[in-house]
Amino acid sequence: MSQEELSNFIYASEHNVSIRSELKACLNKEMIVEIAKKHGYQVHIDDLIEESISVKTYNWFLKSKINPIKSYNY
């Protein structure tokens, strides 16, 4: 449930200038969590860490993709 809250908060921050400006002033993860809670989202520090790991893993898989040597036209 908390990851869904994080996704909702990210969506809100992408579409709300005031949330975005508050986030720009953040110095650490705790401040991000406080801003999320201020705007009604139940986000925890662990969610931010988990999301960060997920993004890094996804990016690694994209970079590591091996393209076929030869393409076959059928």
User: Where in the sequence is the domain holding 39, given as residue range(s)?
Assistant: 2-64
Closest CA to 29 of 46, 7, 53, 41: 46
- In a domain? residue 74: no
Q: What gap in Å lies between CA 2 and CA 17, rounded to an integer?
A: 23
Token pair belonging to 68: 């076929």
pLDDT tens sequence across 31-71: 999 999 999 999 999 988 888 888 888 888 888 877 777 76
Token pair belonging to 4: 């869904």
Query: How many structural domains is the chain composed of?
Result: 1
pLDDT over threshold 70, residue 74: no
**DSSP letters of 37-63?**
HHTT----HHHHHHHHHHHHHHHHHHH
Please tell me whether residue 73 adopts helix, strand or coil conformation.
coil
Task: Write down the pTM of the prediction.
Answer: 0.71
- In a domain? residue 70: no
